[in-house]
Amino acid sequence: MGNTIEVTIPVESEAARALETPARREAVGRYLSALLKDGRLAKVLSEAIADAKREARASGLTDDDIDAELEAWRAERKA
């Protein structure tokens, strides 16, 4: 990677173990750089959310069910 700099990003311990080797960190850095260019990250995230909603609906959940689950998750994160 040509013009790179080191950054520190907090991750969970399991994720940190996956980044122990320099080769893996470099690969993840390339991937993250590509996602952050040209707003691709927002597109990837919105597609992932849409996929999750489709799967939830296919399992019989309604939008109200999904919203309730999100609210419960947010409440747990604040605690």
pLDDT digits (tens, 9 = 90+) for 31-70: 888 888 878 888 888 888 899 889 988 999 998 998 898 8
Mutual orientation of helices 40-58 and 22-36 as an angle, nearest 10°? Answer: 90
Rounded CA gap, 21 and 75, in Å?
36
Residue 10: which residues within 8 A CB-CB, separation 6 or more? none
Tokens of 28: 């993840």
For residue 2, name the pLDDT band (cuts at 50, 70, 90): low
> Phi first, then psi: what are they for 53, rounded to 5°?
-65, -40
How confident is the model at residue 1, as a pLDDT?
53
- Side chain identity at 68, as an amino acid letter? A
